[in-house]
Structure 1
Amino acid sequence: MIKKLFILIVVFLATNFYSQVKNKNTFKPSKIGILVNFGTNENFIFDDSDYTYSTSTFKGQAFYKLGNWKNLNFELILQPQVQFIKHQLINEQYVLPNEEDYLEKRKEFTQLKNINLLALEFGFATKKELVKN
């Protein structure tokens, strides 16, 4: 999966080829970026002994200038992403006996779950220049 993600990023970055005559392209991003994020519940703020949770996020970012108005600049942000999530309930007593089919739910929820998420996010940014330099 990491190989496919690397190939996707290389192809995304390689799409900025120019010829001798440059035509103004409306769909060309003004900035591109990559965001890599790792998270877990096992840290000094949110450590919970009832479950374990970890996530890895890989996100591409493309910023498109939409224009400006007065002192404001507007951008559209396109962010395709892939997330790899692992979740497991450790404390089976978290599922209470008064719930329907609680033994089956305990068995299901205490199994390690791997979740893969593909998403496409759209963002809108408004920027104002405060200082010229």
Structure 2
Amino acid sequence: MKLKFIYIFCLLFFGFGYSQDSIPKYKWLRTGLVFGYASQNTFINQDSDYTYETKCIKFSNHFNISKKRKQSWEILIEPSYYRSKHQLLNYWFISHTVENGDELRAKFMPLKSMNEYVLNVGVVYRRYLNLNSSVFATLNSGPMYIDTDTERLKKGFAFSDILTFGYNYRLKNVSFDTKCVFRHVSNADLQKPNFGLNSVGFEFGTYFELN
């Protein structure tokens, strides 16, 4: 099952299945900036057919769903910008039987830069270690626009699906986090091709705490 369908299930289930604590439901908890780097071969060699790496900046916003003494559930909304690089490495990925195969290889095999504009929405589960620190997991998905054709994904509308695991430390009205990120980009077969792009990496965020 794709991440976007898991995210929708979690949002519906946990959004209505937990009672709120001292924080009002849907209260804006924190806002901040997140910077990240990921690539197709960060530490897991996923596919030798191509390279794909991204640098991103995100405007990250968290809203309360429910909070208990040791755990909380949050809504995450993240408008994001990715600057990406991509290159087809496998000459035979484009079959020699394709009539315009040489033309397509000449188009797709050079290293190219791309822009990705994304709006991700998801859920956060947070487990508190003490008053100042917590560990968390996020699952989010959302629409995006990519401005460059590749052999794996058509230029235009697509979806960005993200799973993260991280640690947050709070110091008065400011907090910081670091997390490991797993990301998949595809267009749900709305256009061809739709082989998708995968990346694994790290993100670092700093936030202003609003509660």
CA distance in 1, matches of 2:86, 2:79: 23
CA distance in 2, matches of 1:38, 1:118: 16
DSSP 3-state at the match of 2:98: coil
Q: Does 1:102 align with 2:101?
A: yes
Aligned length: 108
Equivalent residue number for residue 53 of structure 2: 54
Q: How far off is 1:39 after superposition? A: 2.1
Structure number with the higher strand fraction is 2
Q: Does 1:85 align with 2:84?
A: yes
Structure number with the higher helix fraction is 1
DSSP 3-state at the match of 2:77: strand
Give the TM-score taking structure 1 as reference length: 0.59
Q: Does 1:115 align with 2:119?
A: no
Q: How far off is 1:87 after superposition? A: 0.7
CA distance in 2, matches of 1:104, 1:34: 41
Equivalent residue number for residue 18 of structure 1: none
Bigger Rg over Cα: 1
Segments of 5+ residues of structure 1 without an aligned counterpart are: 1-25
Q: How far off is 1:52 after superposition? A: 2.6
DSSP 3-state at the match of 2:57: strand
Equivalent residue number for residue 63 of structure 2: 64
Q: How far off is 1:79 after superposition? A: 0.9
Segments of 5+ residues of structure 2 without an aligned counterpart are: 1-24, 133-211
Q: Percent identity?
A: 28
Q: How far off is 1:27 after superposition? A: 7.8
DSSP 3-state at the match of 2:44: coil
CA distance in 2, matches of 1:97, 1:104: 11
Q: Is contact 2:26–2:64 with CA below 8 Å preserved after alignment?
A: no
CA distance in 2, matches of 1:94, 1:116: 24
Equivalent residue number for residue 32 of structure 2: 33
